[in-house]
Every structure is written in C-alpha cells, then in structure tokens.
Chains A and B, each alone.
Chain A
Amino acid sequence: EAGVAQSPRYKIIEKRQSVAFWCNPISGHATLYWYQQILGQGPKLLIQFQNNGVVDDSQLPKDRFSAERLKGVDSTLKIQPAKLEDSAVYLCASSPGGDSTDTQYFGPGTRLTVL
C-alpha cells in the first residue's frame, strides 16, 4: 500500500514570496491533516479535513495560510506571503475515518526555509 505522498520535499524562498505544498493521502482515507513542525518541537495541527470539508482550522493563520481539498482526495497548503517564522517542516497525514481509534499516517514532509 502506498503511503502519504508530499511534494516538494524541500523549498527555499525569500520572505514575502508565496509557496504551495501538495499532499496525496493514502487511498481511501477520508481524513487529511496538515501539521507544522518547527525544529525541536512536536507537530502542530494547522487544519483537518474530513473528505472535502474543514473539521478544524483553529490554529491556521488565516491571514496568510490557506488550504483546500476540493475533490476530497489531494490537498494543497499555501502560504502567501511567507514570513521568516514560517520556516519549518510541513507534514501531511491521513487517517481512514476520523473516529477515536484512527491512527494517523504521515508523509515525508516538506522542509521550508524562508530567507
């Protein structure tokens, strides 16, 4: 079974530029998550989708971050404009159905450096 795919793996941009990340979850997984992991810290949830609807985006900085999952499969996360403090690894995860026993499976992440 193929795992969670993410691209690009690495991205370097200057502050105030825009960037987009892509995620393809495990086939059949209804729930998709985007996390931000700053070096030396645990992942922090940015947004959770159930199919193509948003379940939780309470920690998403909506003035600069946006995410969509239009057809309930792939998802994109965008930052516009980027700030220095956005330098982090952006992890995508998916789980089968979103119930309490669900295990989340993570992709390899995109390492973003903002200069």
Chain B
Amino acid sequence: GQNIDQPTEMTATEGAIVQINCTYQTSGFNGLFWYQQHAGEAPTFLSYNVLDGLEEKGRFSSFLSRSKGYSYLLLKELQMKDSASYLCAVKGAAGNKLTFGGGTRVLVKP
C-alpha cells in the first residue's frame, strides 16, 4: 500500500519562501505529483518528478529523492494568491494509481 505524509498547515509572509515536505512509503513508484487546490476548487497540476533531483518551473520548484522516499515543493516570492492547499500524490506501479496525501494548507500573510 501507500502511505504519504505532509504537514497539515504552514504560514508564511508575502515575498518569502516556503518549503512543503512530503514523505512516502510505497509498494511501487512511478512518479510524484504536486497539485495546488484553492478552497472550493479543483486540484490543478503543478509538477511531476520521477527521477531524483530538482525541477524548476518559475516560482515553484519540486525536488525528489527516491532512496529517501522524500519530496519537497518550494514556493518562492510568495504572493497572496498562493494561499491554497498543496497536495502531494504518488503514482504506484499497478495501474498507475495516484494516491494523495492529506494536503498542506498554506496561508500567506501580508
């Protein structure tokens, strides 16, 4: 089975940097996804990592270490609109099933 852990909530100041950690234990691994979900809206795709290392995409970066079962999402130059939940999801080997963590709610303060 899959077990995915991420912090429940984080608070940061506008313009700052926040790092959201995600640890996972899986029986198979075919990649790790990060999604952003604003309150009352659908999750939207942010990033995908399948190999170790850092993937940078504008203000957002995602890192993966498969040997440690660890990923993080880095949000730079925080803006008020970044206040949302961030979901870590792991794709398993069987049928490419996506298993989500509980989400990290990020609150950006002025």
Contacts and interface: CB of A to CB of B under 8 A. Distances in A.
A40 B84 CA distance: 12
Interface stretch (B13-21, B54-62, B75-83, B93-101): B93-101
Interface of A: 4, 33, 40-45, 48, 55-56, 91, 98-109
Interface in B14-55: 30-31, 33, 35, 41-45, 48, 50
A42 B87 contact: yes
A17 to B, nearest CB: 24
A91 B43 contact: yes
Given A56-B95, A100-B50, A43 B41 contact: no
Interface of B: 4, 30-31, 33, 35, 41-45, 48, 50, 87, 89, 91, 94-103
A45 B98 CA distance: 8
24 contacts: A33-B98, A41-B103, A42-B100, A42-B101, A42-B103, A43-B100, A44-B100, A45-B98, A48-B97, A55-B95, A56-B97, A91-B42, A99-B96, A100-B30, A100-B31, A101-B31, A101-B50, A103-B33, A104-B33, A104-B98, A106-B35, A106-B43, A106-B44, A107-B42
Contacts of A41: 102-103
Majority DSSP secondary structure for residues of A touching B: loop
4 tightest A-B contacts by CB?
A: A42-B100, A106-B42, A100-B30, A55-B95
A107 B41 CA distance: 9
